[in-house]
């Protein structure tokens, strides 16, 4: 097992500021009788890109949702940038804004334009003036390559474009960390790379990211660390090169042999 604190050996992590940006300690969760997260300890350094992989049902999405407490937990602590997230209340609402989320389904408002989808959150959450929010949103839409679609409705865009709008919307809150939960799994194959390219760009710009994905190409291009989950546990974690060429656990070897032959 690779030590959690030192597992990041990739090139882009900017962990010189010491304390981890995200820290989970002893996080435990059941859904009824199902023990879905078993004493999870995980740290993510500032600027680090961590990819979470593992078999279906291993707890990856639950872990991802737990990080901003979209899921309740039975035990443990979750700390973002040195501040522990409480279970509920105003402080939780405030700290949640530090975490941008992009889900498999794009979750855009169908009756709002692309531009409105990106401006709405910051205007409501932070009281940003409409003109400032609009200009920031246009910058972000440009960054993800869809500025020319700003006045369209989401349904007029391709799936890949809609997911890029969802990325821009998450970025509009100026999050400290971005969580991606299988962001390309609902996309047609030809649209997957356009979303992955946006994510690689964010990683290269130093965004701290936690990404649940089956796109091993993304892990190889952008991840500092791969975390392998199975049965609600973190079984193994290592830099991508080490993990893909010589995983240390039989469970990871078995998983890789299945996905790499498909
Ligand atoms: N809201 C829920 N209520 C009850 N059980 C749930 C709930 N959400 C998830 N589970 C169960 O918890 C387990 C872990 O689910 P989770 O979605 O975290 O796994 P995953 O590794 O992300 O799987 P996949 O790769 O298929 O998305 C599964 O057995 C799932 O059926």
- Interface predicted TM-score of the whole assembly (ipTM), two decimals: 0.96
* Residue 65 resides in a domain: yes
Q: Which residue owns the Cα nearest ligand 1 atom 28?
A: 57
Q: What is the pLDDT of residue 142?
A: 95
* Residue 8 resides in a domain: no
Tell me the HSE value of 118 on the side-chain side, using a 13 A CA sphere. Answer: 35
* Residue 86 resides in a domain: yes
Sign of torsion, CA 162 165 171 172? negative
Distance CA 147, CA 209 (A): 23
* Residue 172 resides in a domain: yes
The closest of 106, 249, 94, 80 to 169, measured between CA atoms, is 106
Residues found in the chain: 262
For residues 118-126, average pLDDT: 72
Distance CA 119, CA 168 (A): 10
* Residue 141 resides in a domain: yes
Which residue among 28, 34, 66 has the greatest number of ligand 1 atoms within 8 angstroms of its CB, and so is best to mutate?
Answer: 34
Residue 159 in this model has a pLDDT that exceeds 50: yes
Beta strands 177-181; 99-102: pairing state: parallel
- 163 CA → ligand 1 middle, Å: 22
Distance CA 138, CA 129 (A): 14
Which residue among 27, 32, 40, 61 has the greatest number of ligand 1 atoms within 8 angstroms of its CB, and so is best to mutate?
Answer: 61
CATH of the domain at 159: 3.40.50.300
Q: What is the pLDDT of residue 33?
A: 96
**What pLDDT digit, counting tens, does each position of 175-201 carry?**
999 999 999 998 988 889 999 999 999
* Residue 12 resides in a domain: no
- Ligand 1 contact via 168 beta carbon (within 6 Å): no
- 197 CA → ligand 1 middle, Å: 28
Q: How many distinct structural domains can be found in the chain?
A: 1
Per the prediction, the chain carries an average pLDDT of 88
- 204 CA → ligand 1 middle, Å: 31
Distance CA 108, CA 114 (A): 8
**What pLDDT digit, counting tens, does each position of 36-45 carry?**
999 999 999 9
- Ligand 1 contact via 66 beta carbon (within 6 Å): no
Which residues contact residue 21 at a Cβ distance below 8 angstroms, ignoring those fewer than 6 apart?
44, 45, 46, 48, 80, 81, 176, 177, 208
Domain membership of residue 244 as a residue range = 19-260
* Residue 150 resides in a domain: yes
Sign of torsion, CA 216 221 227 232? negative
* Residue 10 resides in a domain: no
């Amino acid at each position: 097992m690779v030590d959690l604190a030192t597992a990041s050996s990739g090139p882009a992590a900017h962990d010189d500021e010491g304390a981890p940006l995200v820290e989970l300690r002893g996080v435990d969760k059941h859904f009824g009788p199902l023990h879905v997260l078993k004493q999870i300890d995980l740290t993510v350094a500032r600027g680090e890109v961590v990819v979470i992989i593992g078999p279906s049902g291993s707890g990856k999405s639950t872990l991802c949702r737990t990080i901003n407490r979209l899921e309740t937990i039975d035990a443990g602590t979750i700390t973002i940038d040195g501040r522990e997230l409480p279970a509920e209340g105003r402080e939780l609402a405030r700290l949640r804004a530090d975490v941008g989320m992009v889900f498999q389904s794009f979750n855009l408002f169908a009756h709002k334009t692309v531009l409105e989808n990106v401006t709405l959150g910051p205007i409501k959450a932070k009281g940003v003036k409409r003109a400032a929010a609009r200009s920031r949103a246009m910058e972000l839409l440009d960054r993800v390559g869809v500025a020319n679609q700003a006045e369209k409705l989401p349904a007029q865009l391709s799936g890949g474009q809609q997911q890029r709008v969802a990325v821009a919307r998450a970025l509009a809150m100026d999050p400290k960390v971005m969580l991606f939960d299988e962001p390309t799994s609902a996309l047609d194959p030809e649209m997957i790379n356009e979303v992955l390219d946006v994510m690689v760009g964010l990683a290269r710009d130093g965004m701290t990211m936690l990404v649940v994905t089956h796109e091993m190409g993304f892990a190889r291009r952008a991840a500092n660390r791969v975390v392998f989950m199975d049965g609600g546990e973190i079984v193994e974690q290592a830099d991508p090169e080490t993990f893909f060429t010589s995983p240390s656990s039989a469970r990871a070897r078995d998983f890789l042999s299945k996905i790499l032959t498909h």
